[in-house]
Amino acid sequence: MLVSHDSDMLSSGNTVFREVRKCASPEIMGILTKAREFLKTTVADSTREIYSRDWKSFACWCSDHRLTDLPSTPDVVICYLTSIAMNGLQIPTIRRRSAAIASMHRAAGYPSPTSHPAVKELLRGMTRKLGTPPKPVDALLSEDIKKMVAALPDTLIGKRDKALILLGFAGAFRRSELVELDVEDIQHRNEGIVILLRHNKTDQMNKGRYVGIPYGANPETCPVRKFKLWLDESGIADGAVFRGINRHGQIASGRLSRRSVGDIVKHAAKAAGLDAARYSGHSLRSGHCTQASRAGVPEHIIMQQTGHSSKENFAKYVRLGRIFEENSAKEIGL
């Protein structure tokens, strides 16, 4: 049964609200419609998209093997998770696929087969056997960013990419935060710009938070000046800030994808003579943490910029970036 996540969420609403639907009064139906909207927002939009792709993978696998996907059974899920592990998928992806299966079953009003003890034991066994930390990407430091920006052409695409890279580095933004940015989220101040992040990975309740981007000392690498230049040159006055541009210089109406941020970073790194394979869109965020830490900026101030709520997660960024700077092996006389 290959269906969309949203339609299943609504079918869940139909199951839950079967009794009140008997009333069928206009007032109750209006309330029911609003309740369905609230149900749809229990999962972040970005997570819903990922879960939808993961569910499609599971549904296709079941179809290929003539198995039922909804509702499924623990033994089917065990075989599926084992199959994708044998194909080289990593533990975080396998666990996410399992979560997607659970989410779809809950949305459709069925008990989740992933709650069975055998499935949980399988995941624990996979973690012990296959669990390895993800391969880290290198942090981009200030000198790297300066080289990358200098290497980009003075074209419309180049101006967009300069603005994206400098803003991403100064704001320590995630890829999703960059591509979801709208012109309406920007406030111009004498000191720089203030950006409202309406959604982010750790803000499941969509409270939002503000991030300040000050003017830089060097006009060629100032994130505020390059950002304003991009808006002026592109003519973008509302909606998505960062958009695609075709080979004729025409700007798309839709926003860039998160993958595009990584592609832009890699392209700029290659143009600057860096090894593009070592970097990704995440290198901007991790680079800010590393560079600020090396400059002696207190942790709580860096975390205020990055939006980290956990010191443990924040420390992972800094620890890897300073792995040779803070290293006892340098002092043991070898």
Active-site amino acid positions? 174, 201, 282, 285, 308, 317
Helix and strand element counts for the chain (H, E): 15, 5
Phi, then psi, of 141 in degrees rounded to 5: -95, 175
> In this structure, what DSSP letter does residue 218 have?
S
d(CA 202, CA 221): 29
DSSP for 228-249, please give it: HHHHHHHT--SSBSSEEE-TTS
d(CA 62, CA 81): 12
Nearest alpha carbon to residue 217 among 166, 173, 251? 166
Q: What are the Cα distances from residue 293, in Å, to 64, 173, 284, 288, 320?
A: 51, 16, 14, 8, 12
- Contact (Cβ atoms closer than 8 angstroms) between residue 140 and residue 284: yes
Q: Which two three-digit tokens encode residue 173?
A: 């933004």
Other residues' Cβ atoms within 10 Å of the Cβ of residue 168: 28
- Bond into 71 cis (ω within 30): yes
d(CA 317, CA 263): 21
Other residues' Cβ atoms within 10 Å of the Cβ of residue 40: 17
The length of the chain, given as a count of residues: 334
